[in-house]
Amino acid sequence: MTIFSNAMKAASPFKTNGIRLASYLSKALTVKQFGNPLDSLSLESSTIKCTEPSQVVVHMLYSPINPADINTIQGVYAVKPQIPFVCGNEGIGRVVESCKSDSKLKKGDLVVPRKNALGTWRDYVVASEDDWLKVPSDLSPVTLATLMVNPGTAYRMLTDFVDLKPGSVVIQNGGNSAVGQSVIQLCKHWGVKTVSIVRNREGIEELKKILQEMGADHVLTDEELKSTEVFKSKEIPAPSLALNCVGGRNALELIKTMGENSTMVTYGGMSKQPLTVPTAALIFKDITLKGFWMTRWNWLHDKDGQREHLVNELCSLAKQGVLQSPPHTLVHIDSWITAIEGATDSRGLVGTKYILSFEA
């Protein structure tokens, strides 16, 4: 594998703190305007180099395309960067150069972004060493590239709101999403039962089988949830935690299944419909409604060591085989249009993750 896949060193390196540094020709997917990603993105090349002693040069290996990235390009996400900007919030890279001899990051280290919206859809990134977190080198780079956003979201929602114990029940919509798959995997590991709701579609039985083999206890379509006897029959207890990424009528059906003093955590709104809650659920069941945004959690815990702890915990779970890489397709950055088209196509079974590759 060649580290310098899409770049070349300039002929005239410069000096900083006694270290000879080089310039790099980098390709980057740049957002020139908010709107349709295919119209808004442009693959551009520029020369980059260290300008501060605290910086490192990182060669990106892989960077996934997440729904939040698409929403950011469309201009409808909570974080709205100033135009123009390089998209990408997640990925795995390798340090190829440190701009000072005593840098805590060394050449060859694998790193993931510590800073949100770092712009990982490019083959070379120059940023402060504090904008990166070092990760183990004995995990698959693809696993590391997709470990922080979706598995991180699942982990935090399962641990921060309800004291789940073996035998507890979690119900979720978007059960075949990347977060949903992580929820299934983590709950299986912890002995927590899951009820995963998915949209009816062609090949629904195959999808159910895939999720059940992953560890899902019950997989129901939206329609099946309305008529299921799994809760009334006491086959499993009422859910103490509901995870909602859809909203609208779908979320309402989840609320109907929830037990007393249970909690619903909303982390998305794919239906673009408001969350409607029956008064009776609030009065007689005393349910709690909360929201979760991984970006805010990262901001709040940037300096207290919890981000490092989360990264270490996720890597440990991946090493144990608890967290698996999602079904994915690698697409070289030169073929970015194919990747964007695939990432915005909702017809897939398990939500295949499209990952940009910067390898030669």
The catalytic residue positions are 77
Interatomic CA distance for residues 354 and 352, integer angstroms: 6
Interatomic CA distance for residues 295 and 284, integer angstroms: 33
81: left (phi over 0), alpha (psi -120 to 50) or beta: beta
Identity of the amino acid at 56: V
Closest CA to 242 of 340, 318, 175, 307: 175
Which residues have CB under 8 Å from 43's CB, separation 6+?
Answer: 27, 28, 29, 30, 333, 334, 336
| Residue entry with tokens 């892989």 | 62
How large is the angle between the packed helices 178-190 and 150-160, nearest 10 degrees? Answer: 50
How large is the angle between the packed helices 178-190 and 204-214, nearest 10 degrees? Answer: 40
User: What one-character DSSP code corresponds to residue 245?
Assistant: S
Which residues have CB under 8 Å from 160's CB, separation 6+?
Answer: 292
